[in-house]
């Protein structure tokens, strides 16, 4: 089986779940990861052969690997011998049978609906390789957009001699926290989440930052902030905001694998996390600081109203004399972010 053959097969299997374009991109990502090749190789040398024996062992049973020693195993050993005879020949992959078997096993997992990022164990975010697992939400391109907007516009209002602190609420994998820690090496970034599984992923990230690594702690932002936190110049959040009624519009690879508690809010209280963010910011945000949040595209005006001068659920301490609230669009032109200054 060649690279071209594998991609064609993967598109046929995965297109019903992901669509043809996304399936093709996923197939290329699997080839690069498991065979250790660069993307241009797939384009420049599409007829390069993979270890067909492992492919046959996996594909012969509805995408499941055959470990029983039957026909699949026999094919694998036979092709391994043939491959040994042509090892080093131009147009033949130097991939081991184990790597090829892992490749086809990964394709089988995707065919079952498992997202590519969970299969690989990582995703790309703001130039970083971010670990992900089923205990945490997969970072989206829109969240990268929010980070880019913050880096383009935010100027830390840090008084002389005062520490520069950033707080990431509902941190999940820690992707925002690490991106901001890299961009602001002089800052101490804190990230919190209610999920111990997500915090475990965030703490185990192998991402280099220029200054101090982010500090993660467990907290329920629907409750009061824990004692002992410092004041913050910047508070960011990508909280749950998808309404339960929107489940029907989402693909099963999201619904079956990603944590529901990181996605959904009840239809009768869809802004509960934004009211909580306002409360936390009232207690923890420094004068001149900013709040950045990702939001539900259908609730831009309603979410902005929470942070207006007369917003619902007023904080326990007096609101600032003047608060600027902006609803910003993503690259698709949808209301996606709110900036509060």
Decide if pLDDT at 168 tops 90: yes
Separation between Cα atoms, residue 46 and residue 128, nearest integer Å? 28
Largest CA distance in the chain: 79
Read off the tokens for 144.
């990268």
What b-and-e string marks burial along 8-18, b requiring 16 or more CB atoms within 10 Å of the CB? Answer: ebbbebbeebb
The pLDDT score that the predictor gives to residue 156 is 86
Decide if pLDDT at 313 tops 70: no
Percent of the chain with pLDDT over 70: 82
Separation between Cα atoms, residue 228 and residue 15, nearest integer Å? 50
Q: Which of 301 and 67 is assigned the larger pLDDT?
A: 301
pLDDT in tens, 180-204: 999 999 999 999 999 999 999 999 9
Decide if pLDDT at 205 tops 80: yes
Q: What class does CATH assign to 136-340?
A: alpha beta
Report the pLDDT averaged over residues 17-43.
96
The pLDDT score that the predictor gives to residue 157 is 76
The pLDDT score that the predictor gives to residue 169 is 98
Q: Which of 161 and 199 is assigned the larger pLDDT?
A: 199
Q: Mean pLDDT of all residues in the chain?
A: 86
pTM for the model:
0.84
Decide if pLDDT at 209 tops 80: yes
The pLDDT score that the predictor gives to residue 65 is 35
The pLDDT score that the predictor gives to residue 323 is 76
Separation between Cα atoms, residue 217 and residue 14, nearest integer Å? 38
pLDDT in tens, 133-159: 999 999 999 999 999 999 999 998 776
Read off the tokens for 24.
């093709």
Report the pLDDT averaged over residues 28-32.
97
The pLDDT score that the predictor gives to residue 124 is 97
Decide if pLDDT at 325 tops 50: yes
Q: Which of 85-89, 132-136, 302-306 has the lowest mean pLDDT?
A: 85-89
Beta strand segments in the chain, E: 122-125, 128-131, 165-169, 188-193, 215-218, 232-237, 242-243, 264-265, 285-294, 325-329, 335-340
Report the pLDDT averaged over residues 169-189.
97
Rounded to 5 degrees, φ, ψ at 264 are -105, 150
Q: Which of 210 and 310 is assigned the larger pLDDT?
A: 210
Tell me if 271 sits within 8 A of 306, measured CB to CB: yes
The pLDDT score that the predictor gives to residue 98 is 86
Assign residue 5 a region: left if phi > 0, alpha if psi is -120 to 50, beta otherwise?
Answer: alpha
Read off the tokens for 66.
């055959």
Rounded to 5 degrees, φ, ψ at 256 are -85, -15
Per-residue pLDDT band at 310 (split at 50, 70, 90): low
The domain segmentation of the chain, as residue ranges, is 3-112, 136-340
Per-residue pLDDT band at 53 (split at 50, 70, 90): low
């Amino acid at each position: 089986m060649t690279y071209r053959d594998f991609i064609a097969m993967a598109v046929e299997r995965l297109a019903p779940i992901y669509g043809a374009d996304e399936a093709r991109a996923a197939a290329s990502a699997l080839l690069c990861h498991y065979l250790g090749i660069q993307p241009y190789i797939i384009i420049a040398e599409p007829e390069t052969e993979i270890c067909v024996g492992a492919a046959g062992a996996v594909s012969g049973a509805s995408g499941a690997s055959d470990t029983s020693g039957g026909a699949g195993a026999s094919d694998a050993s036979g092709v391994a011998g043939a491959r040994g005879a042509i090892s080093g020949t131009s147009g033949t992959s130097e991939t081991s049978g184990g790597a090829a078997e892992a490749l086809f096993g990964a394709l089988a997992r995707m065919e079952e609906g498992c997202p590519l990022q969970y299969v690989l164990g990582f995703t790309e975010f703001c130039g970083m390789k971010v670990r992900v697992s089923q205990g945490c939400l997969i970072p989206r391109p829109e969240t990268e957009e929010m980070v880019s907007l913050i880096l383009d516009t935010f100027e830390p209002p840090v008084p002389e001699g005062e520490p520069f602190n950033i707080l990431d609420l509902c941190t999940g994998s820690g992707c925002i926290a690490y991106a901001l820690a890299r961009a602001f090496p002089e800052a101490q970034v804190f990230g919190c989440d209610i999920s111990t599984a997500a915090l475990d992923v965030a703490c185990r990230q192998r991402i280099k930052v220029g200054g101090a690594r982010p500090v993660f702690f467990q907290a329920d932002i629907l409750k009061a902030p824990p004692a002992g936190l410092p004041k913050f110049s910047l508070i960011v959040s990508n909280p749950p905001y998808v309404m339960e009624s929107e489940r029907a519009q989402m693909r099963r690879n999201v619904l079956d694998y990603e944590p529901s508690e990181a996605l959904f809010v009840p239809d009768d209280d869809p802004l509960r996390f934004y009211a909580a963010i306002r409360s936390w910011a009232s207690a923890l945000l420094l004068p001149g600081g900013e709040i950045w949040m990702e939001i539900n595209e259908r609730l831009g005006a309603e979410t902005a109203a929470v942070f207006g001068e007369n917003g619902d659920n007023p904080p326990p301490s007096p609101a600032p004399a003047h608060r600027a609230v902006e609803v910003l669009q993503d690259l698709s032109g949808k209301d996606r972010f709110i900036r509060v200054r």
